[in-house]
Chains A and B, each alone.
Chain A
Amino acid sequence: MMVDPITLAVVQNNLISVAKGMQETAFRCAVTTLMYELRDCAFSLLDADTGVIAQSHGYICFLGSLGPATKNCVDMVGKENLKPGDVVISTVPHIIGSHSLDALLFTPIFYRDKLFGYAATKSHWTDLGGKSFFITDSKNIYEEGLRIPPLKIYKAGNLLPEVWGIIKWNSRAPDLVWGDIQALISGCHFAERRVTELLDRYGMETVNACIEEMYNYGERMTRRAIQEMPDGTWTAEDYLDNNGIDLNKLVLIKVTVTIQGSDITIDFTGSAPEQSGPMNGLWINTLANARAAVKALTTPKLPANEGCFRPTKVIAPEGCVFNPSTAAPSFMYLMVTGRALELINKALYQVLPEKVPACSGGDPCGGGFFGIDPKTGKFWMSLVPCAIGQGADLFSDGENFLHPHYISSSKNAPTEVLESVFPLFIEKVEFVQDSGGAGKQRGGVGSRVDIRLRVPATFFSFIEKGKTPHWGINGGKEGLRNYALVRSKDKGELEVLKTTGIELKKGDSVLITAGGGGGYNNPLERELEAVHEDVINGYVSVERAKQDYGVVIDPSTFDIDLEATNKLRSELRNN
């Protein structure tokens, strides 16, 4: 069946707005800042074969995983067993491609007794009874929280109390989990209502024909973009800071990218084997992040759907850090798979200089606190990711103060919200001077957040990219690396990257430094006025302007000393 372009555009935009509306509806009902502020979640509308029709502005590391994760669950529950009003959940890492807390929840959407597709969600459920709230040093999967196989929590619209009971009695914060589950279901119901209205108006046949054409168009445009890239094979390597247990051992990650005609293959063969600590990616999430990388390089401005994914083949041998066994601890999966995005970029920077930026700060630089609020007697848990600087590219400076690519939809939780919801005091949030890698195009600067505790609590952090360079390109310098500094009355000052828990007292504080992006091209070529502005704006210090850029600026007047600058720049060029 052919559809006219106007109907196609109307139906496509309608479907995209359904996915976005799912997310907005869930935010309006959500009871945790994890969902409505950090937006640690994603929503997709899937077809009856679990292909992605449309998606919300959620975490891109989740979005590409919703199709394959839902497919696994549908296969296990049985498509024939799904009925209107059912709600299916699962938290098994190897089935859904994320740790237990990033749980999958979906509903089938029926239209006149026929399965149209699924409303699928993934979001961070506050707690499912792992050994702690955020686990960076688990030695096995059993320490990481409740694994619920794909099953119905609602059957034909009715709650199965025994299923909820399993969650309730295994969670430290059942009220928060329950409230957010209800919010997710509200999002799914929104999708069901809106899809029904659309099908009433256009009919199943026309809408399905539109979806097929959306996929074909997505595939055509992606293939066209790949075709414009040169054929060949390129590799890149980087290292994870550690595996969570053996803190002094770097872990190799490697990718080989092959472009041939209009196909692209992303192969992680050669990466380190499965780790004994929780730094193990999960296959579906590896797939999702590789898809996201290709999407960004090929059709960044088109809406994502299943068709865009067709030209991409992803390989990660079983038993490697990107595709570990079902027994492997994997709580920190995202700090592995998320790195795949920039690793793929790194492989292609020489081939696609106009598309690939230098390395960013690379990591959410997440830290947080949990404990019992003395006022309410209830468990509380906060998670504070800190915004990094982005890598510079061929045309412009890196953006300051943004979250890393794979959670780029995350909002920075406002200080007012953090202080009113949690017993925290934010001493300061600031740009980190000199954190952006020097270059003709400067890397973006990262952020520094100083958090003081108003009650005793436990601090956890899961910082990556603290040991290996935030690389620059073609003479651009590297950005400042990430770290956290714990300042405790009892324990003194401790530099920390990953910790499951350090107990702190009221008045203790933590300073998280989220690093900057790498620079692009030789900093000695940077325009004088740009360096001058950077110093006036505080992005670059007077000392580093001189040292990295060869620009001499009077610290009292902020005027450029042109003569000294010309002399210094020519000296530095000749060295």
Chain B
Amino acid sequence: MLREENIPEDAVEFIRSLDMCYEGQGHYVELPLPNVRLGEDVKLEIINAFHHFHEIKYSHQLDAPPRVTNVRLKAIGKIKDIQISEVEQGKEVPPSALKPKRKVYLGGDFVECQIYDRYKLLYGNVINGPAIIEEPLHTTVVMPEQTLNVDRFGNLIISTGGK
């Protein structure tokens, strides 16, 4: 994935860790692992490291068998400059950004609400609440009396109208 994003290989760092707990525990601690080959020979070392880590974190060890619940590998791509893309400018909200209206429970009542697609909004668009801005991972609610402005990076800036 990092290769697809054109991160040079020498700028990629791998961090390995194990989620470990004692038998019976419902939570785990994340034990950082050194970059060595994992085999039988390091098993005892890992168990001892877990006991030690648990002791530091929670001030005790248990005489119960340790368990590994997850094996984690993090890949970090280091980049120097971040290019932030800007959104197109436009005064009017484009018709493609409008989704069908819905009734939304706001402030104790169902209110007819315009729904917008965030990715179709343009720099300079102004939206008065009540409104809902949708995108695949988030939903932004603009309450009645509030005003939303889209800036040139596509940020949604809501003025609450507070004095």
Interface residues, chain A, with chain B CB atoms under 8 Å away: 25, 27-33, 36-37, 175-176, 178-179, 182-183, 185-186, 189, 417
- The answer to whether A27 and B26 have CB atoms under 8 Å apart is yes
- The answer to whether A28 and B24 have CB atoms under 8 Å apart is no
Point out the residues of chain A lying under 8 angstroms from B22, CB to CB: 31, 179
User: Counting CB contacts under 8 A, is B58 at the interface?
Assistant: yes
- The answer to whether B64 and A36 have CB atoms under 8 Å apart is no
Tell me the B109-138 residues at the A interface (CB within 8 Å). Answer: none
> In the complex, which of the residues B25, B26, B59 contacts A189, with contact meaning CB atoms closer than 8 Å?
B59
Point out the residues of chain A lying under 8 angstroms from B64, CB to CB: 31, 175, 179
Residue of B nearest to A193 (CB): B59
Complex Cα distance, B62 from A30, in Å, reads: 11
User: Counting CB contacts under 8 A, is B27 at the interface?
Assistant: yes
Q: Can you spell out 25 A-B residue pairs with CB atoms less than 8 angstroms apart? A: A25-B58, A28-B25, A28-B27, A28-B29, A29-B25, A29-B27, A29-B60, A30-B25, A31-B22, A31-B23, A31-B64, A32-B24, A33-B26, A36-B25, A36-B26, A175-B24, A178-B62, A179-B22, A179-B25, A182-B62, A183-B58, A186-B58, A186-B59, A186-B60, A189-B59
**Count of interface residues, chain B, beta-carbon cutoff 8 Å:** 12
> In the complex, which of the residues B24, B26, B58 contacts A176, with contact meaning CB atoms closer than 8 Å?
B24
Interface of B is mostly: loop
Tell me the B49-93 residues at the A interface (CB within 8 Å). Answer: 58-60, 62, 64
Point out the residues of chain B lying under 8 angstroms from A176, CB to CB: 24
Point out the residues of chain A lying under 8 angstroms from B60, CB to CB: 29, 182, 185-186
The 7 A-B pairs at the shortest CB distance, nearest first, are namely: A31-B24, A36-B26, A186-B58, A28-B27, A182-B60, A189-B59, A29-B58
Complex Cα distance, B25 from A28, in Å, reads: 7
Interface residues, chain B, with chain A CB atoms under 8 Å away: 22-27, 29, 58-60, 62, 64
- The answer to whether B59 and A31 have CB atoms under 8 Å apart is no
Complex Cα distance, B64 from A178, in Å, reads: 10
Residue of A nearest to B26 (CB): A36
Complex Cα distance, B59 from A183, in Å, reads: 9
Point out the residues of chain A lying under 8 angstroms from B59, CB to CB: 185-186, 189
Complex Cα distance, B24 from A183, in Å, reads: 12
Point out the residues of chain B lying under 8 angstroms from A27, CB to CB: 26-27
Point out the residues of chain A lying under 8 angstroms from B26, CB to CB: 27, 30, 33, 36-37, 417
Point out the residues of chain B lying under 8 angstroms from A32, CB to CB: 24
Complex Cα distance, B29 from A544, in Å, reads: 52
Complex Cα distance, B27 from A33, in Å, reads: 11
How far does the Cβ of A121 sit from chain B's closest Cβ, in whole Å?
Answer: 15
- The answer to whether A31 and B62 have CB atoms under 8 Å apart is yes
Complex Cα distance, B67 from A93, in Å, reads: 37
Complex Cα distance, B41 from A200, in Å, reads: 45
- The answer to whether B58 and A31 have CB atoms under 8 Å apart is no
Q: Contacts A31-B22, A179-B22 given: A36-B62 contact, CB under 8 Å?
A: no
Complex Cα distance, B62 from A32, in Å, reads: 14
Complex Cα distance, B27 from A29, in Å, reads: 7
How far does the Cβ of A497 sit from chain B's closest Cβ, in whole Å?
Answer: 30
Complex Cα distance, B25 from A32, in Å, reads: 7
Point out the residues of chain A lying under 8 angstroms from B29, CB to CB: 28
User: Most B CB atoms within 10 A — which of A25, A182, A189?
Assistant: A182
> In the complex, which of the residues A28, A33, A175 contacts B58, with contact meaning CB atoms closer than 8 Å?
A28
Point out the residues of chain A lying under 8 angstroms from B62, CB to CB: 31, 178-179, 182
Residue of A nearest to B54 (CB): A29
How far does the Cβ of B121 sit from chain A's closest Cβ, in whole Å?
Answer: 35
Given contacts A179-B25, A182-B62, A183-B58, 13 further A-B contacts (CB under 8 A): A27-B27, A28-B27, A29-B25, A29-B58, A31-B64, A33-B26, A178-B62, A179-B24, A179-B62, A182-B60, A185-B59, A185-B60, A186-B60
Complex Cα distance, B59 from A27, in Å, reads: 14
How far does the Cβ of B67 sit from chain A's closest Cβ, in whole Å?
Answer: 12
Complex Cα distance, B29 from A346, in Å, reads: 47
